């Protein structure tokens, strides 16, 4: 039986939860982000730290994927990955990136641009030790991240070998090809959905003197 296709163009949601004014914002975009993150956590959102990471390679080809925010302080936003992956190769040649958080239930987005630098090995090791044993092994299993492989059995066989090589009681060393990145923001936009698509968009832009100025963008 043929099923009638959904009219994707007709899919829409009217946003009614509230608005956002400059006076609502804190002086620092990091502090404002932390406040919104706490609200997202408090509302029980699933993986509120999930973020879209966009990178560009040396030929100008963009790519995008979802990763998890694993650290935040006055310096910026931290995540961890395989340095030999596509995103790692992109960032090696072009250390600029963009992040986007979508908290649909709160009708909010946060869009961030900035430059990226590697975290210290000490910081990487500190985080790696907090990961579950399976995730530590998984970092080793995915040494060839983003490369084509012959089948899933390649991963299964490598996992078995690594479980034997690095038993849990002995500890798992941090792979030299794996580590953290810090995205230092130069622009942070807070987006709040509004009725009739007249959304509130307030952007922190860093000046040449390193200060933050806030401007309203047209939706």
Angle formed by the axes of helices 152-165 and 133-141, nearest 10°: 120
Instruction: Taking the CA atoms of 190, 192, 193 and 194 in sequence, report the sign of the dihedral they define.
Output: negative
Active site residue 129: no
* Pairing of the two strands 108-118 and 212-217: unpaired
Is 47 in contact with 101 (CB distance < 8 Å)?
no
Burial of 140 (0-12, 13-18, 19+ CB in 10 A): buried
Phi, psi values for residue 91, rounded to 5°: -70, -25
Q: Which of 104, 129, 197, 216 is catalytic?
A: 197
User: Which residues carry out catalysis?
Assistant: 197
């Amino acid at each position: 039986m043929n099923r009638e296709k959904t009219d994707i163009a007709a899919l829409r949601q009217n946003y009614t939860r509230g608005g956002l004014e400059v006076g609502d914002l804190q002086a620092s975009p990091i502090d404002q982000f932390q406040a919104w993150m706490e609200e997202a956590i408090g509302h029980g959102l699933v993986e509120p730290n999930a973020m879209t990471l966009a990178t560009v390679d040396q030929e100008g080809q963009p790519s995008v994927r979802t990763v998890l925010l694993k650290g935040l302080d006055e310096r910026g936003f931290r995540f961890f990955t395989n340095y030999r992956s596509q995103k790692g190769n992109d960032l090696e040649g072009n250390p600029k990136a963009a992040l986007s958080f979508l908290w649909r239930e709160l009708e909010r987005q946060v869009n961030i641009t900035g430059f990226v630098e590697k975290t210290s090995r000490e910081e990487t090791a500190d985080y790696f030790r907090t990961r579950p044993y399976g995730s530590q092994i998984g970092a080793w299993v995915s040494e060839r991240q983003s490369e084509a492989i012959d089948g899933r059995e390649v991963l299964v066989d490598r996992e078995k070998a690594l479980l034997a090589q690095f038993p849990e009681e002995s500890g798992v060393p941090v792979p030299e090809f794996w580590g953290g990145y810090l995205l230092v923001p130069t622009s942070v936009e807070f987006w709040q959905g509004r009725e009739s698509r007249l959304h509130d968009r307030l952007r922190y832009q860093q000046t040449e003197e390193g200060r933050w100025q806030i401007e309203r963008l047209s939706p």
